[in-house]
Amino acid sequence: MRIGVIGTGNMGSLIVDALVRSKATRPRFISVTNRTKQKALELAKKYRLLSVYSSPNEILQHADIVFLCVKPAEFHPLLQTLRGRWHPKQLAISITSPISVTQLESLIPCQVARVIPSIVNQSLSGSTLVTFGSSVTDVQKSKLWAILSQFSHPIEIDEENVRVASDISSCGPAFLSYLLQRMIDGAVSSTSISKKQATQLTTEMVAGLGKIFEEHIYTLEELQKKVTVKGGVTGVGLAVLEQEISDVFEKLFTETQKKFIEDRHVVNTEFNGD
């Protein structure tokens, strides 16, 4: 399969990295383009034989699967420039959550899907969130699923749950990294431990924790019970977290949903005015 990537920012580059590192495909079967061409050329330096083109139109001439990795505000103008350029057998894939597959189908005359990756896919792990358009064939679904399975655990997500699922799988690493950094800072400011050592202990703990879950040794609830001894230190710490964190994640998801609605409103305005 020839794969094209339009937009080589953080997420576009992540997809290329994951495809190559997992050996889902070889660089010579990947073509990329970016508004700032230098970013695309940097990928070509990293992966020999990867092709860099000057425009999205050229990508469509050389790809069976096309990943559209641009910001929501740039999406509609891009699709307008690509009208009449698509081949019926191509698969167009958006990685932008505010744009529904129905909206994609309104401007792209071929099979469409939405795939939301996560930064953890670079380690050939974690989930990718998949929503298929109504015209995607079983054969095309199987091909895409096979590709994504090389570097992730693809999960099919309903349109109504795409935002919260993305908050967990894609934004979650940033949220948890923030909490872990606060834990490190708290340890350093409250005790004599160095930041270097606290950081090492924290990152190694997280790496080990991931393996425990990956190997299904404990569930989240089971692990908490195993570590917590009645009347012990862990229980004291958990009591503080229960009191201080309280409904912080309810507030977090409420705010991300608000932002999602705002983004969708902008997208809807552009698509409805087409």
193-204 per-position pLDDT tens digit = 999 999 999 999
- DSSP category for residue 175: H
Residue 154: beta bridge partners?
128
In the chain, the percentage of residues whose pLDDT exceeds 70 is: 99
- Closest CA relative to residue 89, chosen from 12, 1, 205: 1
Whether 131 has a binding-site annotation, put simply, is no
Q: Is residue 263 part of a domain?
A: no
Does 237 lie in the same domain as 109? no
Does 213 lie in the same domain as 122? no
Whether 11 has a binding-site annotation, put simply, is yes
Does 241 lie in the same domain as 120? no
- Closest CA relative to residue 261, chosen from 142, 127, 162: 162
Q: What six digits make up the tokens of 196?
A: 């270097």
pLDDT of 103 over the 70 cut: yes
Q: Is residue 239 part of a domain?
A: yes
CB 66 within 8 A of CB 60: yes
pLDDT digits (tens, 9 = 90+) for 211-267: 999 999 999 999 999 999 888 999 999 999 999 998 999 999 999 999 999 999 888
Q: pLDDT value at position 180?
A: 98
Confidence of residue 72 (pLDDT cuts 50, 70, 90): confident
Whether 133 has a binding-site annotation, put simply, is no
Q: pLDDT value at position 59?
A: 97
- Where does a domain end: 90, 123, 157? 157
Q: pLDDT value at position 269?
A: 85
Q: How far apart are CA 234 and CA 236, in angstroms?
A: 5
Query: Which amino acid belongs to residue 239?
Result: A
Does 25 lie in the same domain as 61? yes
Q: Can you give the pTM of this predicted structure?
A: 0.91
Whether 6 has a binding-site annotation, put simply, is yes
Residue 228 is part of which domain span? 165-252
Q: Is residue 258 part of a domain?
A: no
